Amino acid sequence: MKKFWWKILGGLLLLYAVIFGFIVDVPDTMIQQTMRNLFYHVGMWFGMFAMLFVGFIYSLRYLRKFDEREDVVAVEAVNVGMMFGFLGIFTGMIWASFTWGTPWVKDPKLNGAAVGLFIYLAYLILRGSIEDIHKRAKVSAVYNIFAFILWIVFVLILPRVSGAGLHPATGNDVTPVLPMHMDSSMRTVFYPAMIGWILLGCWILQLRIRIRRIKATVNELLT
Amino acid sequence: MLGKEIKFLVGKEIKLELKQKYVINGILLYLVSTIFVTYLAFEDVISVETWNSLFWIILLFVAVNGISKSFAQESPARHLYYYTLASPQSIVLSKILYNLMLMAILSILAFLFFMLLMGNKVITMPLFILALLLGSLGLSSILTMVAAIASRASQNFSLMAILSFPIVLPLLATLMKVSSTALINLEWAGNAGFIVILLTINVAVIMLAYLLFPYLWRD
C-alpha cells in the first residue's frame, strides 16, 4: 500500500473524471456539449508535457553520471509522451471536425504539437542509427536536451509570430477551457482529471521501464 | 587561451576549405541551380509572400547542405588528434564562427542571385540585411550542433535534415516574420520584439552548444 497508493489514486481520479465529465454542467457556449472533450483532450497534453519533461530531466541526469538506467527512463518517457501526443492530436481532430468542420487548421497550438512529435520521432530514429549503447545514450541525451529547449521556445513564440488561430486559450481568449475562465463545477472535474492523466502516464512509464529491464536481463542470460 | 585556440582553429578551417575548393564550389552550384529551378518553376507569379517563403526555404536547404559537412569532412582519427590539442569548447565555437562566415557569404550571394532572377521585393533593405545576418548566425549555430550530433551516427545526411528541420523552426518562423515586414512596409516599429527573440534564440543556442558539445566529443 505504501508504494502503490498513487496508482489507486490515479485510477479513482480517472474513473471520477470519466463519469462526472459527462454529468457535470458545462456552460452553453458556441461549442455546446463537445466542451466535455476538454477533460480528456487537454489531459493528453498535460500527460505529454509531463512525460517529455521527465525525459528531459533524465537526459540531464544521464549526462551527470552516465548511468544506463537513467537513459532507459529518458527514452521510455519519450515513448509514453509520444503516445499521449498522438492521442492528443486524435482527440483534437475529432473535436475539431465537430466544431470547426475540419480536422486540421493552421493554428499555433496544433503546429506546436505536430512539431513536438516530429522532434521526438527524429530522436527515436537517431537512437536507432547508433549501434554502440553508450554512444547512443550520450548522443541522444544531448539531442533531447537541445531539442526540448528549442521546442519550448517554439511553442512560446509561435502564437506571437503567426498570430492567434482558431484554437482557444490563446491570447485574450476567455472561452472556459483554462482553469481561470472555468466555473467552479467544471474545475472540480478538470483538476482531478489532469492529475489522473499524469499519474496514469507515470504508471505506464514504470511498467515500460520494468519490461525493458526484464528484456535486458533475459538477453544477458541467453548470451 | 580560448580566443587564441579559436583563432587558430578558424584559420585551419579556412585553409582546409581553400585546399578542397570543390566542396565550396559544390555548395555554390547547389545554391545557383536551386534558385534557377525555382525561377523556371514559378516564372511570373511572384507575390511578396511567395517570394519571402521561397527565399528562406532555399536558404535553409543551402545551410543544411553547407554545414552538414562540418564534422564529416575530417576523419575520426584527425578529430582525436584535435582533441589532444584543443578544448572541445574552442572546437565548437570555432566551427560556429567559421560556419557563420560561410553562411553570411552564402546568404548574401543567395539574396543577390535571387534578386536578379525573381526581382527585388525588399522595401526596407537594412532590416532585411539584419534578418539575413541574424539568420546566418542562428542557422550556423543550430546546424553546427546538429551536424555534430549527426556525425556520431551512421547514414548522417538524411539524419541531418530530420534532426534539424523541426528544431530550426522557431528561428525560421521569426526570420520569415521579420523579413516579411521588410518586404511590405517601411516601418521598423513592431519589429524590435522579433529582433529580441532572434537574439535570444542565438544566445541560447550558442550557450547550449558550449555546454553540451563536450559530451559529444568524448567517446
Alpha carbon distances (Å) from B25 to B11, B17, B18, B28, B75? 19, 10, 10, 5, 21
pLDDT reported for residue B31: 94
Set of cell numbers at residue A85: 501526443
Per-residue pLDDT of chain B (219 residues; tens, 9 = 90+): 788 888 888 898 888 888 888 888 999 999 999 999 988 888 666 688 888 999 999 999 999 999 988 888 778 788 888 888 888 889 999 999 999 999 999 999 999 999 888 888 888 888 899 999 999 999 999 999 999 999 888 776 688 989 999 999 889 988 998 888 888 876 766 778 888 889 999 999 999 999 999 998 766
The neighbour count for residue A8, using CB atoms within 10 Å, is: 11
B199 touching A (Cβ < 8 Å): no
**Residue of B109, B123, B138 whose CA lies nearest to B197:** B138
CB contact under 8 A, B149 and A126: yes
The confidence score (pLDDT) of residue A181 equals 66
Length reported for chain B:
219
Q: What is the pLDDT of residue B186?
A: 66
pLDDT at residue A124, rounded to an integer? 94
Neighboring chain A residues of B196 at a CB cutoff of 8 Å = none
In this predicted structure, what is the pLDDT of residue A171? 55
Write down the pLDDT at residue A125: 93
Which residue, among A14, A39, A10, has the nearest Cα to A24 in the 3D structure? Answer: A39
CA A37 to CA B88: how far, in whole Å? 50
Angle at A77 between CA B141 and CA A16, to 5 degrees: 130
Asked if A184 is an interface residue toward chain B (Cβ–Cβ < 8 A), one would say: no
- CB-CB contact of A116 with A85 (8 Å): yes
Report the alpha-carbon distance of residue A43 to residue B115 in Å, rounded.
Answer: 49
Burial A181-208 (b: 16+ CB within 10 A, else e): ebeeebeebbebbbbbbbbbbbbbbeeb
Could you tell me if B170 lies within 8 Å of chain A, comparing CB atoms?
A: yes
pLDDT per residue of chain A (223 residues) written in tens, 0 to 9: 678 888 889 889 989 888 887 887 777 666 667 778 888 888 898 999 999 999 999 999 999 989 888 999 999 999 999 999 999 999 888 888 888 888 888 777 888 888 999 999 999 999 999 988 899 999 999 999 999 999 998 888 777 776 656 677 655 555 666 666 677 777 888 888 889 999 999 999 999 999 999 998 999 899 8
Chain B residues lying within 8 Å of A161, measured CB to CB: 173-174, 177, 194
Nearest to A126 among B153, B170, B174 (CB): B153
- A130-159 in b/e form (b: 16+ CB < 10 A) is beeeeebbbbbbbbbbbbbbbbbbbbebbb
Do A147 and B167 count as a contact with CB atoms less than 8 A apart? yes
Q: CB within 8 A of B166, min separation 6: which ones?
A: A115, A118, A119, A122, A147, A151
Nearest residue of chain B to residue A148 (CA atoms): B167
**What's the confidence (pLDDT) of residue A206?**
94
Closest-approach residue (CA) in chain A for B170? A154
The contacts of residue B156 (CB under 8 Å, 6+ apart) are B68, B72, B150
Cβ contact A119–B159 (<8 Å): no
Find where cell 472540480 sits: A188
Query: Which 121-150 residues of chain B touch chain A by CB within 8 A?
Result: 142, 145, 149-150
- How far apart are alpha carbons B180 and B49 in whole angstroms? 7
The H or E element that residue A116 is part of is helix A108-128
Neighbours of B76 (CB within 10 A): 11
Q: Please enumerate in sequence order all residues whose Cβ is within 8 A of that of A16, keeping only pairs 6 or more positions apart, or say none.
A: A189, A192, A193, A196
Task: Please name the residue of chain B whose CA is at the shortest distance from the CA of residue A154.
Answer: B170
- pLDDT for residue A174: 57
> Residue A132 gets which letter from DSSP?
S
Which candidate in B155, B163, B175, B198 is best for mutational testing of the A interface (most A CBs within 10 A)? Answer: B163
- Vertex B135, ends B131 and B137: CA angle to 5°? 125
The distance of A169 to chain B (nearest Cα, Å) reads: 20
A129 touches chain B (CB under 8 A): yes
**Given this model, what pLDDT does residue A123 score?**
94
Tell me the whole-structure pTM to 2 decimals.
0.89
For residue B162, give the chain A residue with the closest CA. Answer: A122
Closest CA to A37 of A23, A49, A21, A60: A21
| Farthest-apart Cα atoms in chain B, separation | 56
Using alpha carbons, list the distances in angstroms from residue A211 to A69, A85, A137. 13, 22, 18
Is A139 in contact with B159 (Cβ distance < 8 A)?
Answer: no
| B149 contact residues in A (CB cutoff 8 A) | 126, 139, 142-143, 146
